[in-house]
Amino acid sequence: MTPNQNTRYNRFLLLVAGLGGLLYGVDVGIIAGALPYLEATSGLNAGQLSIVVAAVLLGSVISTLFAGALADWMGRKPLMALSGLLFVGSIPIIALSHGYQPLVLGRLLQGVSAGLIGVVVPLYLAECLAAASRGKGTGIFQWLLTLGIVTAAVVGMYFSFRVDEVAKLGDPARLFAFKDAAWRGIFWVSLPPGILFVIGALMVSESPRWLFRRGKTDAAYTALLRSRSTEQAKLELAEMEQTAAAERAGLATGGQARESLLRRKYVIPFVLACIILACNQATGINSIIGYNTNILLQAGLSDIQAHWGYVLFTVVNFLMTIVGVLLVDRKGRKFLLSVGTAGIIVSLVCTGLLFRRTEKLRVDSRGAVQSMVGSMAGTDDRLTLRYDPKTANAFLAATGRAGNSIRNQPTSLVVIYSCGDFRAATQVARSDDASAQPIEITRESCLPANKVVAFFTNPFANLDAARRAPLRIDNALIAPVPSNQNGRLVAITLFVFMAFYAIGPGVCVWLALSELMPTRIRSNGMSVALLLNQAVSTTIAAVFLPEVGRHGYSTMFFGFAACTLIYFVTAALFLPETKGKTLEEIETHFEGLQA
C-alpha cells in the first residue's frame, strides 16, 4: 500500500474501534433517559428496576470472564463482529418487551456485548496500532464512548420534550401511552450505531499478532502492510519472530508456563490494574450516569430540568475527555489520575452534604403504612397507595412531633418492604406530582421469580421460607422535597464530578489496563481485571435504588467518596508513571521491584 492508503486505513481502523466505544457508551447511558418512563409505565418496583439497570453490567461480568479466551480462540476481528451482532439483537428484544423477563434478557445481551467490546477493542488496538499511535487510539475509544453517552442523553432529551408537550394536554391515558412509547423509542434509536460497527468490524484486517501466533506469518505480514510501510512491517514481523524464539528458548530450558498470571514479575502490575479498575467503578460512575435523571429529580429539579441536566452532564464528560486525551501524553497517567480522583472526592462529599440537608429531616411512618396493608382488598399481601398532600399529612400526623416540621409542604415518600430475607423499595413518590401513578406494594414485587434470580439478589437467603413469610413494611420514609436551588447546586457538583472523572480515570483507566499488563498475559489479565471491574459495577447498580431508599442519597455519595480515597492513594503513591515508556520498559520496571 502507498502511504496515503496506509493513512486512510489507519483512520478507518480508529473509526471502527471508536464505534466500539460508541456502543459501550450507549450501553451505559441509554437507560438513564428511558428509566423515568419505564418506571412510570412498566409496573416494576425499585428492586426490579435496579436489576434491569444492573443486568447490562451483569452481562458484562459474564462475557468479560471469557472474552480473553474467546479472543485468543476465534480471533479479534470475529469477536468484534459478534459483539456488535449481540447488541443489534438486544434492541428488538427490549423495545418489543412486555414484562420483566424480556427486559432483563435484552439488557443482559447488551451487557454481554459491552463486556466483549471492553476487552477486545482495546486489545485489538494495542496489537494493531504502532507504539506512537497507541495513546491516540485508546483516547479515541474513550472519546467516542463519551459521545455514545451524550447521544443517549440527547435522545432522552428529545423524548422528554415530547412527553412534556403531551402532558400539557391533560389526558392521563394519552400521557401514559406516550411514555410507554418513549422508552421503547429511545432503545430503537440506538440500533444504527450497532449495525455500523458490525459492518466496520467485517472490513478491517485481523490482528497481525494473533495471526502470527497462529502460525499464519504471511497473513500477519499482509495485515501489517495495510497500516504500515513495507520497512515498518518487515521490522515488526522480525521483532515478533525474535520474541517467539526467546519464548521457545525459555520453555525449552524449563521456564514457567508463559501464560500464568502467578509468576512473580506479573503479580504487582496485575494487582495494581485490578485495584484501579475496581476503584474506578467504586467512584459510582456507572450508577451516577444510569440514575442521573432520577438523582436530579430527587434533588429538586423538575422533569425537563433533570433531563437538561443529564444532557449537560454528558456534554461535560465529552468535552473534558478531549482535554484528558490532550493532556495524557504531556502530564502523564499518574498525574491525571491523582488530580482526577482528588477532585472526585471533593465533589462527591459536596453532593452528599447537599442531600443530607433534607434527608436529615426524614421521618418514618411505617406503622401507618403497615396498618393499611391488605385493608383495601381484604388480604395481607398488597397495598395500592396514592401519595397526595392529604395522605402525606395523615402519615406525618401519625409520626407525632417528629413530622410537624415538614407538614403542609411538598414531601416525598419511599417505602421499603420485605418478605423473609428479600427486600424491595418503591420508587420515590412526590406529594406534589398529580400525574404520578399510585404506589403498588405486593409480595410478587418483593420476591425473586426463581432461585437463580434469588441467588444474585441475596445468595444467603431462603426463597422457600420467604414465600411463606408475611409482607412487612420495614420503613416508610417521608422527606421534604428539596428546593429548585438545591437541585441546581447538586447538578453543579455532579458536573464537577464528571469533569474530574473525565480528565483522570475516564481517559487513563483503559491505558492503565493495556500498559500495566505484561505482554504475555495481556488477554487473560485484561479479562480477569475487567471481570472485577464489572462485578463491582454490577453490585453497586443492583443495590443502588433500594439502598438509597433505605439510607438516602447522602450515604451513597459518602460511600463513593470513601472508595475513591483508596483510588487516590493507589494512584498517588503506588502507580508508576508510564508516560513515554515502551511496554517492555514498564515490564522491566516491575521486574526490578521484585528482584
Residues 320-367 have pLDDT tens digits of 888 887 787 777 778 888 999 999 999 999 999 999 888 888 888 888
pLDDT at 453 over 70: no
- Residue 181 backbone class (left: φ over 0; alpha: ψ -120 to 50; beta: rest): alpha
Cα dihedral sign, 16-21-27-33: negative
Percent with pLDDT over 70 in the chain:
82
Q: Residue type for 399, please?
A: T
The predicted structure's pLDDT at residue 492? 94
Instruction: Quote the longest CA-to-CA distance of the chain.
Output: 84
Enumerate the β-bridge partners of residue 416: 425, 475
pLDDT at 184 over 50: yes
The predicted structure's pLDDT at residue 497? 95
pLDDT at 82 over 90: yes
d(CA 523, CA 514): 9
pLDDT at 265 over 70: no
The predicted structure's pLDDT at residue 427? 72
pLDDT at 379 over 50: no
pLDDT band at 458 (very low <50, low <70, confident <90, very high): low
pLDDT at 547 over 80: no
Buried b (16+ CB within 10 A) or exposed e, 384-395: ebebbeebbbeb
Enumerate the β-bridge partners of residue 418: 423, 472
pLDDT at 447 over 90: no
pLDDT band at 557 (very low <50, low <70, confident <90, very high): very high
Residue 419: strand, helix, or coil? strand
Supply the DSSP string of 490-542, one letter for each residue: HHHHHHHHHHHHIIIIIHHHHHHHHHHS-GGGHHHHHHHHHHHHHHHHHHHHH
d(CA 524, CA 151): 32
Q: Residue type for 543, please?
A: V
Per residue in 117-157, pLDDT (tens digit) is 878 887 787 777 765 666 666 677 777 777 777 777 777 77
Per residue in 494-537, pLDDT (tens digit) is 999 999 998 888 887 777 666 676 656 666 666 777 777 767 77
d(CA 299, CA 486): 6
Cell of 338: 491523582
Per residue in 191-213, pLDDT (tens digit) is 888 898 899 888 888 888 788 87
Cα dihedral sign, 517-520-521-527: positive
Cell numbers 459536596 correspond to 350
Q: Which helix (H) or strand (E) holds 21?
A: helix 3-42
497/32: higher pLDDT: 497
The predicted structure's pLDDT at residue 225? 80
Pick the most confident of 247-256, 280-289, 302-311. Answer: 280-289
Residue 134: strand, helix, or coil? helix
**H helices within 253-388, ranges in order?**
264-282, 285-290, 292-299, 303-331, 333-359, 366-372
Q: Residue type for 179, please?
A: K
Percent with pLDDT over 90 in the chain:
10
Residues 476 and 368: beta-carbon distance below 8 Å: yes
Per residue in 391-420, pLDDT (tens digit) is 888 888 888 776 777 877 888 888 888 888
CA terminus-to-terminus distance, the chain: 45
Among 219-233, 249-263, 555-569, whose mean pLDDT is lowest?
Answer: 249-263
Residues 40 and 179: beta-carbon distance below 8 Å: yes
The predicted structure's pLDDT at residue 20? 80
The predicted structure's pLDDT at residue 494? 94
- Mean pLDDT estimate for the chain: 79
The predicted structure's pLDDT at residue 130? 66
pLDDT at 584 over 50: yes
As a whole number of Å, the CA-based R_g of the chain is 26
Residue 575: strand, helix, or coil? coil
Residue/partner pairs of 305-312 with CB below 8 Å, 24 or more apart: 305/484, 305/487, 306/487, 307/33, 307/156, 307/157, 307/160, 308/157, 309/487, 309/491, 309/494, 310/32, 310/33, 310/153, 310/156, 310/157, 311/150, 311/153, 311/154, 311/156, 311/157, 312/491, 312/495
Range 38-52 average pLDDT = 76
Cell of 313: 452532564
Residues 428 and 549: beta-carbon distance below 8 Å: yes
Tell me the helices (H) and strands (E) count for the chain, helix number first. 25, 7
The predicted structure's pLDDT at residue 376? 46
Cell of 245: 524464539
462/264: higher pLDDT: 462
The predicted structure's pLDDT at residue 595? 42
